Structure 1
Amino acid sequence: MDDSGTAERRGGTRRARLRAETSAEIKSVALRLMAEGGPDAITLRAIAREMGMTAGAIYGYYATRDDLITTLIRDVYGSLADTVEAARDAVPAQDTAARLLAWAEAFRGWALANPEGFRLVYGDPVPGYQVPEGGAAPEAERRACAGIIGLVAAAWNHTEPLEPHVTWDPSDFDPHLADAAADGLPDLPPAALALGLRLWGRMHGLVSLEVYGHLRTQTRAPDKVYRAEMLALVTSLGLDAPDAAPR
């Protein structure tokens, strides 16, 4: 027979597992409510009703709706950072063009598989949500910025002088972006930060149009449109596109 200490530990493990499962369900329901009714549909009372719980029970997991929103953003953004980093790192470090394409394709794939998460991070603000000091997901945001800037740095020697009619200064950029660049890349010039923003904009723009349904009536092949844009992005950096044929 189990002694009381072993039984207590098993009980604690079971409670922790059930709590983790309930917390995950709360987040899943919140994203579903957002998909069905927009960001203002996320309320703790609505989630409790969907799960057959009392509002008081929900408050035992998240003290406020904003706590839940912050947790959702942190989890979603972290998942995105994990996905694009894994895709990039599956490609040899010396193949900058293929690593950039892998990052871009993984970004689009994640967004299409997680449209509510994409909208939560990049799109619809949740009415009344107060972002905590330092941001909702500072670590994931830093990883995403550092990843794009790292790809720019790897391509920098292949790139012709950029935007000869624009002069960039460190003060043109948010300190968080500058800090992400300085972490391991202290000699990267301000023009590289501008290039990183432009690369991110080209990746994000078409994905956002697709997630929000704006390409639906324009093309039956949004994947080809996106890949063509990413191949053009690669060649604009003076890199050789690994596969110029549209898929």
Structure 2
Amino acid sequence: MQGSSVHDIHSPKQEHCSRLCAPLCFRGTLVRMSSTAHGARARARVEVTAAIKEEARRQLAEDGAAKLSLRAVARELGMASSALYRYFPNRDDLLTALIIDAYDSVGEAAEAARDAAGGTGPVPRWTAVCEGVRRWALGHPHEYALIYGTPVPGYSAPRTTVPPAARGAMVLIGILRDAHRGPGLAGPALPAELRPEAVRMAADLAPDLPPEVVVAMVAVWAQLFGLIGFELFGQFNRVVEDRDTFFRHAVGHLAHTVGLR
């Protein structure tokens, strides 16, 4: 990124040069030159976008999401605000990009933990995934706070955040699905007053699972992040000493809650 800017990427000089080179198209030269220039612009855009998001994450860690400022990001990167707006037109667009990245990152951690557990039984795989999510959270506390902490005032997440947000849950649902197709699940009976359609996950993410399992999964999903949040934000200080063992025991209990045996 150093030594270049957004203005370099779309400069009038380059456009003028392209017009002057037009006659070269008969020898195929323009095609090669245009392809090279397009590739350079694409790479530059990726690099600048990554730098903007990295600086924004640094500011999140320092000041919190509510104080995130495009002007401050631009200033730290030595960019004009008008140049940064070409990448992220407003603060909410930048926040959305950071939120999607965070959800994808925790989702990747969950998937990697599942894959590392290999062909073990459902409870060990479930435990491995939960521990993978916890490790990610402890290593990325500010990104965790962005997606599972206090809502950012004035920000409303668009629907584009929904698939990344479901990524981690789908890993655990996959374990439940495998168990349901194999040895079966021993989930608790659904209370008569709680209709299955009251929990949207049953229809949206896991219509093939018993409703009582999906309802339990929603509660367990909330409890998992409650455990992680309590540890991350200090509520376990002077309460839980051996947190690794405690967490493993707790997520084992959650596995039983959703019917894994």
- What TM-score bracket applies, with the shorter chain setting the length? 0.7 to 0.9
Q: Letter of the 1:79 partner, please give it.
A: S
1:230 is the counterpart of 2:248 = no
Alignment of 1:43-62 (within 5 A): 43-62=69-88
Single out whichever of 58-67 and 160-169 deviates more from structure 2.
160-169
SS at match of 1:90: helix
Name 1:91's counterpart in structure 2. 117
Q: Provide closer, same or farther for how the CA distance between residues 139 and 160 of structure 1 changes in structure 2, counting only shifts above 3 A.
A: closer
Q: Letter of the 2:167 partner, please give it.
A: R
Report the alpha carbon displacement of residue 163 of structure 1 after superposing the two structures with TM: 4.9
The alignment covers a number of residue pairs equal to 231
Q: Provide closer, same or farther for how the CA distance between residues 117 and 131 of structure 1 changes in structure 2, counting only shifts above 3 A.
A: same
Q: Report the Cα distance in structure 2 between the residues aligned to 1:165 and 1:173, rounded to whole angstroms.
A: 13
1:143 is the counterpart of 2:167 = yes
Q: For the Cα contact (< 8 Å) 1:149–1:192, is it kept in 2?
A: no
Name 2:137's counterpart in structure 1. 111
Q: For the Cα contact (< 8 Å) 2:190–2:212, is it kept in 1?
A: no
1:66 to 86, 89, 92: 92
Alignment TM-score, normalising by the size of structure 1: 0.82
Mind listing any 5+ residue stretches in structure 1 that lack a counterpart?
A: 240-247
Q: Provide closer, same or farther for how the CA distance between residues 211 and 55 of structure 1 changes in structure 2, counting only shifts above 3 A.
A: same
Alignment TM-score, normalising by the size of structure 2: 0.78
Q: Report the Cα distance in structure 1 between the residues aligned to 2:236 and 2:218, rounded to whole angstroms.
A: 23
Alignment of 1:89-238 (within 5 A): 89-93=115-119, 95-132=121-158, 135-156=159-180, 159-160=185-186, 162-163=188-189, 168-174=194-200, 176-182=201-207, 185=208, 188-234=209-255, 237=259
Report the alpha carbon displacement of residue 220 of structure 1 after superposing the two structures with TM: 4.2
Single out whichever of 121-130 and 208-217 deviates more from structure 2.
208-217
Q: For the Cα contact (< 8 Å) 2:66–2:153, is it kept in 1?
A: yes
Q: For the Cα contact (< 8 Å) 2:202–2:211, is it kept in 1?
A: no
Q: For the Cα contact (< 8 Å) 1:168–1:190, is it kept in 2?
A: no
Q: Provide closer, same or farther for how the CA distance between residues 101 and 219 of structure 1 changes in structure 2, counting only shifts above 3 A.
A: same
Q: For the Cα contact (< 8 Å) 1:145–1:180, is it kept in 2?
A: no
Q: Letter of the 1:19 partner, please give it.
A: R
CA RMSD, Structure 1 to Structure 2 (Å): 2.5
Name 1:12's counterpart in structure 2. 38
Report the alpha carbon displacement of residue 161 of structure 1 after superposing the two structures with TM: 5.2
Q: For the Cα contact (< 8 Å) 1:62–1:68, is it kept in 2?
A: yes
Single out whichever of 6-15 and 111-120 deviates more from structure 2.
6-15
Report the alpha carbon displacement of residue 79 of structure 1 after superposing the two structures with TM: 1.8
Report the alpha carbon displacement of residue 44 of structure 1 after superposing the two structures with TM: 0.7
Mind listing any 5+ residue stretches in structure 2 that lack a counterpart?
A: 1-27
Q: For the Cα contact (< 8 Å) 1:152–1:195, is it kept in 2?
A: no
Q: Report the Cα distance in structure 2 between the residues aligned to 1:161 and 1:229, rounded to whole angstroms.
A: 17
Q: Report the Cα distance in structure 1 between the residues aligned to 2:55 and 2:226, rounded to whole angstroms.
A: 28
Q: Letter of the 1:143 partner, please give it.
A: R
Report the alpha carbon displacement of residue 207 of structure 1 after superposing the two structures with TM: 0.7
Report the alpha carbon displacement of residue 121 of structure 1 after superposing the two structures with TM: 1.2
Q: Provide closer, same or farther for how the CA distance between residues 6 and 80 of structure 1 changes in structure 2, counting only shifts above 3 A.
A: same
Q: For the Cα contact (< 8 Å) 2:179–2:185, is it kept in 1?
A: yes
Q: Report the Cα distance in structure 2 between the residues aligned to 1:101 and 1:108, rounded to whole angstroms.
A: 11
User: For each residue in 1:146-193, what CA deviation from the matched residue of structure 2 results, as whole angstroms up to 9, or x when unmatched?
Assistant: 33333334445554451576654222213x5521012xx2xx222111
